[in-house]
Structure 1
Amino acid sequence: MQLSNKYWHSNGKLLLSGEYLVLKGATALAIPINKGQSLEVNEFSGRGEIYWQATHENGKWFEANLKINELSKIKANSSPEQKKLQQILNCCLELNPEFLDVHKNYNIKTNLEFSHEYGFGSSSTLINNLSKWSNINPYELLAKTFGGSGYDIACADSKKPLLFKLENDKKIIEEVDFYPDFYEGLYFVYLGKKQRSSESIKEFNKNAAYSEREIKRISEISMAICEADNIENFNELIDEHEEIMSKILNMQSVKSLFFNDLPGSSKSLGAWGGDFALISCRLNKTEIKEYLISKGLTTFYTFKELLVF
């Protein structure tokens, strides 16, 4: 007998500025996007069994049959996805022991509104949805599972861009207006290689050298981006941001790697080395499409196409 049907949805995200250094107290600018993830839970009378099905825009990409009493027994031959799912559910139970009922069966479906290869927040949207279901703090669950600053969790329920900062273990979140007059010149381009944020963070913490002055300047740039009143000023800011981060990470900027002939500017979004890049220029959509095809890049979105606000 079906007992209940529940549904939650969380927004995806893009980090426009402050990547990496947001972990060290820099102010970052992030935007929620209109592509996210849903979680639907159907509860039935039963014996503590869970059927989990994960879908995205191209159909089903993962499924698992689990037993509540055996969630802590993670088998060596299970898929990486199932191992991670069991870890997350165990953390939910640790934070709320009454989360699951062994006298119920659960039919669970998640739907990702973008490819799981995109860095739009497949992990953060799952964590936020599960936190709503299990009635726990999403930031605590994130810390126990994937780690990170939490800016992506802040985006999950936001309807506006936001400035995000960690200060003395507190999260300072300020919603801002970021809808520049030159938005038609902003494009988000998929570079074809998803970066695992957790691995990028580990590498950053191990090898990166940075100063308080650089943290302060990145914060200033994040706030100045919100106030940029023309595309030339905006481009100067993201160019400076790229120059600072290129030095800190000891990596080439996305412009030098891909877009050195672009009549405009470009910036890595999130972890460097893959995922999405921001392009800022005066080319129209047809012109930018032709330019990107010449680079072997076929997936891109305009600023307006991803807006949730």
Structure 2
Amino acid sequence: MNKQTFYSNGKLLFTGEYLVLNGAKSLAVPTKFGQSLDVTFSAGNTLNWKSYDFDGSIWFKDEIKFEDIIAKTSFDEHKIKNTLVKILHHAYLMNTDFISKSKGYTLHTKLTFPRLWGLGTSSTLINNIAQWLQIDAFELLKNSFGGSGYDIACAQTDTPIIYQLHNEKPSFKTVDFNPVFRKHIYFVYLNKKQSSKSAINNYLKKQVSLDKAISRIDDITTCISETDDINEFMNAIDMHEAIISDVLEQLTIKESIFPDFKGSIKSLGAWGGDFVMAISQENPVLYFNNKGYKTVLKYEDMVL
């Protein structure tokens, strides 16, 4: 059967959300969770596709014809299929051989995290497809989905990174980020999937001068990635939240949902959904559970 298997890491963006699109220096970490892609040859000039969630349930399955990939066919009321066809179409433009020199494929994707967690269902898929077809994952992301590309960098890297766009080109370096106070860092799922694509579109509509904010975020990213002082870390987190709050004209997550929390809370990625990072001297699990947030992960259970 000649099965090929590819794997990509999930991601969390610790600093620079939104502003990373404008060249801000950002700290991002790959997660212990990710997604695999299994590919076997078949027939029928089609891709027989199945996507499995972390629990083994199938959340998407369909048959995608080669001709629909080439033509980038759009299907009414099939949002997931349309997104997949768009990604595959741009992959085809970058490597036509995968269709012109094949009779068909069976593809299975498998997440190791619940799909709604927002740890990179799309970015891990794009990176896996790019590995399979030996094309540039950053270019595939840019052409098909958009975004800064930090999630692709995390998909490919097994350590934390400082990520930055220079003239819209991705640049990243690995950093030795493993704070001594990591046992005080937790990740809380807000029970709400946030569309990063629509969040980015809303952000891009805001025509404000960002130079000062970017400069401050650059400094905070450096501080957060280097400090071993929990109080300095928390102060930097609070400053970061205040800066992005001003840019977005939105309340911080702590102001809006957790005003009585003893510690610091930071949105990770698109504001208002997915995960937040909580830093607290005391174990905060009971606090979040009592507010209805049952998914609270320790640092070592989340970060690769």
Q: Same fold (TM over 0.5)?
A: yes
2-structure distance, mates of 1:253, 1:47: 52
Instruction: Tell me the equivalent position of 1:67.
Output: 65
d(CA) in 2 for partners of 1:202, 1:298: 30
| Residue 301 (str. 1) matches residue 300 (str. 2) | no
Structure 2 unmatched ranges of 5 or more: none
Q: CA shift at 1:69, angstroms?
A: 2.2
**Residue identity (%):** 39
Compute the displacement of 1:77 (Å).
3.1
Q: What is residue 9 of structure 2 aligned with on the other side? A: 11
Q: Which residue of 2 aligns with 1:213?
A: 212
Listed one character per residue, the Cα deviations across residues 18-45 of structure 1 (whole Å, up to 9, x for unaligned) are 000011110000000010000000113x
Quote the residue 2:239 is aligned against: 240
TM-score between both structures, scaled by the size of structure 1: 0.94
Greater strand content: 1
Contact 1:69 1:102 in 2 (8 A): no
- How far off is 1:49 after superposition? 2.0
State the 1:305 CA deviation.
Answer: 0.3
SS at match of 1:136: coil
Verify the 8 A CA contact 1:254 1:268 in the aligned structure 2. yes
User: How many angstroms does 1:75 deviate by?
Assistant: 4.6
Kept in 2, the 8 Å contact 1:49–1:102? The answer is no
Q: What is the DSSP-based 3-state SS (H/G/I as helix, E as strand, rest coil) of the residue aligned with 1:207?
A: coil
* Paired residues for 1:122-141 under 5 Å: 122-141=121-140
Q: Counterpart in 2 of 1:273?
A: 272
Partner of 2:198: 199
Partners of 2:180 and 2:199 lie apart in 1 by 33
User: Could you tell me how far apart the structure 2 residues matched to 1:280 and 1:128 are?
Assistant: 31
Q: Secondary structure at the match of 1:282?
A: coil
Deviations 1:123-167 (A, max 9, x none): 100000000111111011001111011000000011110000111
* Residues 103/247 of structure 1: CA separation in 2 closer, same or farther (3 Å cut): closer
Q: Identify unmatched segments of 5+ residues in structure 1.
A: none
Q: Hey, what's the Cα distance between the residues in 1 that align with 2:216 and 2:184?
A: 25
Secondary structure of 1:166 counterpart: strand
Q: Would the aligned equivalents of 2:35 and 2:111 in 1 still touch at CA under 8 Å?
A: yes
CA contact (8 A) 2:54 2:115 kept: no
Name the count of aligned residue pairs.
302
Read off the aligned partner of 2:221 and give its amino acid letter. Answer: S
Change (3 A) 1:229 1:75: closer
Query: Partner letter of residue 168 of structure 1?
Result: N
Deviation at 1:211, TM superposition (A): 2.8
Cα distance between partner residues in 2 of 1:75 and 1:102: 24
CA drift of 1:306 comes to 1.2
Given that residues 20 and 201 in structure 1 are in contact (C-alpha distance below 8 angstroms), is that contact kept between their aligned partners in structure 2? Answer: yes
Amino acid at match of 1:200: A
Please give the secondary structure, in 1, of the residue aligned with 2:214. Answer: helix
Q: Distance in 1 between matches of 2:274 and 2:145?
A: 18
State the TM-score, normalizing by the size of structure 2.
0.96
Q: Indicate the residue corresponding to 1:180 in structure 2.
A: 179
Change (3 A) 1:268 1:66: same
